[in-house]
Structure 1
Amino acid sequence: MLNTLLPVTGPVMVCVLIGFLWIKFNWPYDTDMITRLVMCIGAPCLIVSALTQSDISHSILQEMFWVTLSVIASSLLAAALLIRLAGQPLRTFLGPLVFPNAGNMGLPVCLFAFGERGLVLALAVFMVLSLLHFTLGIALVSGRSVLRELVSNPIIYSIAVAIFMLYTDYRLPLWAQNTVNLLGDMTIPLMLLTLGVSLATLKIQNLGKSLYFALTRLGIGVAAGWGMAELFNLQGVARGVLILQSAMPVAVFNYLFALRYEREPQVVAGMVMISTLLSFVTIPVLILYVI
């Protein structure tokens, strides 16, 4: 069992721990700059690099897009119902319950669990989630349209470039491809370090509410991912990637949005921290199932 789990979870935990200890030693870490670097340069380059050099068929990638949308739709319905039953505000908790940490945690876990093929499929899920999180997610928490956020999101342009290259068989010049590969390679380590830094700086208030919604997030994720994998009859790596990505903890960006729009940020911070810590137990269990 350890021979299966350690190669997947070990690198993730070590990188997160380094980021956590970095802050505990009071060493400087510009989280805003690193986050912008990853979202504006690293992640777009990783998307173009991985998708355009993969031998995965267009039909499989398209299927992952549609399945991910189905996971989000079913998660929205389940989350809205559970939030209403708990008597809590939808705008505060709908986003954190629906949008998982498919980037910082999901990408490396799928890479180490399934190799480059797993990374490509995980990126397909990540792209859909990112676009929805920075549009629908912000709209949910802010209560207004955020078309500008969509237009200014570099990830959407990297998706357009990758799709163009996939369907036209266009290839970048070698120097450009090597540059994109190099910049894309920084993404996953920086994501994990930043996750550790975020965990070190978050503070929990109202432990009971945070714990309830953290458990709810993990439960909704597993149920939605598993259910859609069965409904769409996904097999092999695609099935494993969908379940793992869907089961990730609350994304750190949910806390940043809650802070920006004053939607109980301390409770959302607790959800991020608790669900992430719990995922170090739940994710290995799921890995044993899906590998």
Structure 2
Amino acid sequence: MSVVATSVFLLFALIVLGFILGKRNIIHKESIPDLSALVLQVTMPVTVFCSIIDQERSQLVSYGVQTFLFIILLHLCALLVGLILIHAVKVQDLDQGVWIYSMLFSNNGFMGIPLALSVFGGKGMFLMALGNVVGNFLIFSVGVKLLTWKYPMKEKLNIRKMIWNNINIAVLLGLVVCILQIPVPDVLGQLLAYLSNITSGLSMLVVGLSISRLPVKAVFQDWKMLFLTLTRLLIFPLLMIGFLRLLPTNLDETLKNVLILTAALPVSSAQSMITEQYGTNTAAAGRSVFMTTLFSVITVPLIMMIAFA
């Protein structure tokens, strides 16, 4: 489990670096929306595309349906927990979208794929990438709607704009290239690899920059956010472990572990960038990403130890 702890720690270190750069005004706060746009519109779509085209077509077909079904089931369970949570804790109206988003979406792209590769090998990475397809589609449709929920928007959101975005276009293109076995020229492949490699580090820096505008004490003094963090990192993944063990079907063991890892991961860092883009609840979004990423250094290895037991 040292591989898990090390990977989580490195990503959190990048958030801290972004926080320092923002606090010392080395990167000005006016630049944060532009950096968010760079990740969301360019580098993240490239990362998604590359993660799909690297897979084998035969595996895509054999594991695709089962993975998609269980990832959707996981999201439905998370949605139910999120709805119960916002009413039980009496979350303020403008924070409710962030809370539900935080329960729904894990950092399975930037953190989950490399962790799955390290812990479960190539098959684990592939299954996490398949689950990431569903996650990306939902983040940039349902997720955007949640993070703009109850906010007066200058531009009215509609289903077509939420679904037809660069991330989901990258998903479709990746599936086409993988299924049809379309060769990617070496030069283009190298260019895409360079852009893809930027995404993870830059997205964590953006999270840190967003948090740098908050008083540090405020992040830890919000008891409701601490409760959200506890639910997200411990209670929900433990519920998923119990649920998967009670299933009557013989679920593939690697897929089962990937689902548990997905449930145990911290909140998707895309949350901070989406709220930056739309000018909504950046404070609550930054807190949830910061807190869950911080404590996941301890909880992710713990949950996976329980899962393996």
Shared fold by TM > 0.5? yes
TM-score normalised by length of structure 1: 0.81
What pairs up with 1:96-107 in 2 under 5 angstroms?
96-107=102-113
Give me the CA root mean square deviation: 3.1
Structure 1 residue 257, shift from structure 2 partner: 3.9
Task: Tell me the equivalent position of 1:180.
Answer: 189
Q: Does 1:83 align with 2:100?
A: no
Given the alignment of the two structures, is residue 40 of structure 1 paired with residue 52 of structure 2, yes or no?
Answer: no
Q: Is the 8 A contact 1:16 1:192 kept in 2?
A: no
Report whether the alignment pairs 1:95 with 2:71: no
| Secondary structure in structure 1 of the residue aligned to 2:90 | coil
Q: Is the 8 A contact 1:12 1:108 kept in 2?
A: no
CA contact 2:4–2:300 (8 Å) conserved in 1: no
Match of 1:251 in 2: 268
Cα pair 1:106 1:248 within 8 Å, conserved: yes
Instruction: Tell me how many residue pairs correspond in the alignment.
Output: 281
Match of 2:225 in 1: 210
User: Offset of 1:182 from its aligned partner?
Assistant: 5.9
Q: CA deviation at 1:175?
A: 2.3
Q: Does 1:135 align with 2:137?
A: no
TM-score (norm: length of structure 2): 0.77
Is the 1:22–1:197 Cα contact (8 Å) retained in structure 2?
Answer: yes
CA distance in 1, matches of 2:263, 2:197: 18
**Greater relative CO (CA pairs within 8 A, separation 6+):** 2
**Superposition deviation, residue 58 in structure 1:** 1.4
- Structure 1 runs (4+) greater than 6 angstroms displaced: none
Residue in 1 that maps onto 2:200: 191
Alpha-carbon contact 1:218-1:275 (below 8 Å) kept:
yes
Shift in CA distance, 272/8, structure 1 to aligned 2, threshold 3 Å? closer
Query: Cα distance, 1:19 vs. partner?
Result: 5.9
1:46/1:272 CA distance change after superposition, 3 Å: same
Structure 2: runs of 5 or more not aligned: 150-156
Distance 1:69 1:95 in 2: 15
Determine which of 104, 121, 129 is the counterpart of 2:127: 121
Aligned-partner Cα distance in 2 for 1:192–1:91: 26
**CA 1:136–1:192 in 2, change beyond 3 Å: closer, same or farther?**
same
User: Over residues 75-112 of structure 1, what are the superposed CA-to-partner deviations in whole Å (9 max), with x where a residue is unaligned?
Assistant: 11111012111111333421122212112221221121
Unmatched tracts of structure 1, length 5 or more = none
Per the alignment, residue 229 of structure 1 pairs with 244
CA distance in 2, matches of 1:39, 1:248: 19
- Residues 48-89 of structure 1: CA distance to partner in whole angstroms, max 9, x if unpaired? 2x22x3652513121111101111111111110121111113
From 74, 91, 95, the equivalent of 1:71 is: 74
When residues 57 and 201 of structure 1 are mapped into structure 2, their CA distance, relative to the original with a 3 A threshold, is closer
Q: Could you tell me how far apart the structure 2 residues matched to 1:147 and 1:233 are?
A: 38
1:109 and 2:115 aligned: yes
Higher alpha-carbon deviation: 63-72 or 278-287: 278-287
* In 2: Cα distance, 1:220 partner to 1:138 partner: 25
2:17 aligned partner: 21
Question: Amino acid of the residue matched to residue 162 of structure 2?
Answer: E
CA-CA distance at 1:7 after TM superposition: 3.3
- Flag the 1:63–1:259 CA change in 2: closer, same or farther, 3 A: same
Question: In 2, are the aligned partners of 1:46 and 1:180 still within 8 Å (CA)?
Answer: no
